[in-house]
Structure 1
């Protein structure tokens, strides 16, 4: 798969875990052409994640970038940056199919987490990735304004033709399957005899058609958001964007209101 994507001259990231066998997997992925390794752990602020980050950086040096996570606090981001992470993923429980905060009582509101972790990213001159919690293109702009250098989102793209979920027709409307990685369905597929705990749900999302026109519109919305803030790039957005507290009445003003919608893209 890595070699296939590389032939298209596209950057490739590959996920690895923290078990000892993952180091051999990481070597195979890099030899196949992976440009970055993503240390993908639900709770990234633990000693095993820190040690694995250190070892991966020692093995590969500047040959590939190391992305570690997930975390939600300044202290956690700092520890992973010190361990050698080139970038840190932020997000404990914000995803649309995630129920971690409900089931475990743990997590931090996503914008608060990004704002906190961004302090560490600025100190160590490293990158931050906002992972999850975005419902629309405006949320992407807010995540970048809060200090992220990039975002990861599944929900926004889950309904597109090119994604892996099956198309399902219900009441004459098309939907696509979209399941959390720790939902009962997905965990049963991975280990049918050992499902004791779930932190995700299975779902359907409205079918959105093909990727190209959708991503073009998202990018135009993001560019427009930057222009409202007077920013030409992400670094300028960090400097110029300001957050304000939104009242219930202010929230009502967001989006269309007090009308009958006849067309909604």
Structure 2
């Protein structure tokens, strides 16, 4: 997941000058989108979230870029395989509704009001231990299936 504290601190400073913040990376579900936006992001990038969709490019992987000025081989990105997710037409509407629901659950009617929730201390950042995260998840079932959409 993205670095929530980093987004919050950078956005707090950037907002004083009207500079938008775009946290790049770590968004893998709609909950991460809501958290990033509430913490101060203006928009989110969703590369890994969209990777594996029908519309995402595939096969072409440029792993290294030769820098002629410095004569260095620079690594660019990560090469890997991801599961097929189908068309974005299938899961983007679900994601949009989930983000709207997340804002509604927090009492935010807009991006600006979401940003204001932390500034007004209505919401507070909280650190949870690994054990607390496990306890807060699904437990006590013989089996379950988690669906992305």
Partner residue, 2:32: 139
Once residues 145 and 3 of structure 2 are traced to their aligned partners in structure 1, the CA distance between those partners, rounded to angstroms, is 33
Partner residue, 2:86: 209
Partner residue, 1:101: none
Once residues 262 and 122 of structure 1 are traced to their aligned partners in structure 2, the CA distance between those partners, rounded to angstroms, is 41
Query: Aligned residues, how many?
Result: 140
Larger radius of gyration: 1
User: Which TM-score applies when normalising by structure 2?
Assistant: 0.79
Q: CA RMSD in A?
A: 2.6
CA contact (8 A) 2:33 2:44 kept: yes
More strand by share: 1
SS in 2 for 1:239: helix
Partner residue, 2:55: 162
Deviation at 1:199, TM superposition (A): 5.7
The answer on 1:261 being equivalent to 2:144 is: yes
User: Which TM-score applies when normalising by structure 1?
Assistant: 0.47
Partner residue, 2:134: 252
Contiguous gaps of at least 5 residues in structure 1: 1-93, 95-108, 167-176, 180-184
Once residues 251 and 263 of structure 1 are traced to their aligned partners in structure 2, the CA distance between those partners, rounded to angstroms, is 16
Change (3 A) 1:251 1:263: closer
Choose which of 212, 234, 254 in structure 1 pairs with 2:111: 234
Q: Mapping of 1:52-201 within 5 angstroms?
A: 110-166=3-59, 185-187=62-64, 190-191=65-66, 196-198=73-75, 200-201=77-78
CA contact (8 A) 2:63 2:77 kept: no
Once residues 84 and 13 of structure 2 are traced to their aligned partners in structure 1, the CA distance between those partners, rounded to angstroms, is 38
Change (3 A) 1:144 1:118: same
Once residues 263 and 116 of structure 1 are traced to their aligned partners in structure 2, the CA distance between those partners, rounded to angstroms, is 32
Change (3 A) 1:263 1:119: closer
Partner residue, 1:219: 96
Deviation at 1:217, TM superposition (A): 0.9
Change (3 A) 1:159 1:253: farther
Once residues 88 and 126 of structure 2 are traced to their aligned partners in structure 1, the CA distance between those partners, rounded to angstroms, is 33
CA contact (8 A) 2:38 2:115 kept: yes
SS in 2 for 1:208: coil
By relative contact order (CA 8 Å, sep 6+), the higher-ranking structure is: 2
